[in-house]
């Protein structure tokens, strides 16, 4: 009975292993780059104003490798889209930026706890925080 020689078998195994390792590297590097491009977190929230509720300063940290453009951020306060009331500021990689939201006559920030949610549209990353006003 004849079979594949040991040298050819070793070469085939080596080629298969290198091919699988290359494919895995390409897949993982592509997935990891897109998922960690923007990683937001709310590091602090403060309320300012006469009644400690006129302005809300949300300090956002980006631990990712890409910039979170201001137009890509949607800010929710107590489940309501408050982006129109907020000055959007881009958040550079590995840095912080302050998003300032001003309440108007119709949308009052709740006294006590306010739930903050910032959604980065392209990646779907969600940062959460609580503000006590």
pLDDT band at 49 (very low <50, low <70, confident <90, very high): low
- For β-strands 113-120 and 95-102, DSSP reports them as unpaired
28-37 pLDDT, tens digit per residue, is 877 665 556 7
pLDDT of residue 60: 92
Give the domain ranges of the chain. 1-35, 40-132
CATH number among 4.10.800, 3.30.70, 2.60.40, 3.30.930, domain 40-132: 2.60.40
Task: Report how far residue 67's alpha carbon sits from residue 90's, in angstroms, rounded to the nearest whole number.
Answer: 7
User: Considering only CA atoms, which of 125, 122, 117 is closest in space to residue 63?
Assistant: 125
- Residue 87 pairs in a beta bridge with 100
pLDDT band at 18 (very low <50, low <70, confident <90, very high): very high
Structure tokens at 124: 């779907």
pLDDT of residue 107: 60
Least trusted range by pLDDT, from 3-12, 32-41, 64-73, 124-133? 32-41
pLDDT at 124 over 60: yes
Q: Are 77 and 129 in contact (CB under 8 A)?
A: no
Rounded to whole angstroms, what are the CA distances from 65 to 8, 15, 59, 105? 44, 34, 18, 39
56-92 pLDDT, tens digit per residue, is 889 999 988 888 898 999 999 888 888 888 888 899 9
First to last CA, the chain: 84
pLDDT of residue 32: 61
99-117 pLDDT, tens digit per residue, is 988 876 546 677 778 899 9
- Residue 55 pairs in a beta bridge with 48, 102
């Amino acid at each position: 009975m004849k079979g594949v020689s040991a040298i050819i078998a070793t070469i085939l195994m080596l080629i298969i292993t290198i091919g699988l390792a290359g494919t895995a590297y390409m897949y993982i590097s592509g997935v990891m780059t897109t998922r960690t491009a923007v990683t937001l977190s709310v590091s602090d929230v403060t309320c300012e104003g006469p009644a400690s509720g006129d302005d809300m300063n949300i300090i956002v940290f980006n631990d990712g490798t890409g910039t979170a453009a201001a137009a890509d951020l949607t800010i929710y306060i107590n489940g309501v889209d408050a982006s129109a009331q907020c000055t959007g500021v881009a958040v550079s990689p590995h840095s912080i930026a302050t998003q300032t939201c001003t309440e108007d006559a119709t949308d009052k920030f709740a006294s006590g706890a306010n739930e903050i949610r910032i959604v980065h549209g392209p990646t779907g990353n969600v940062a959460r925080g609580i503000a006590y006003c």
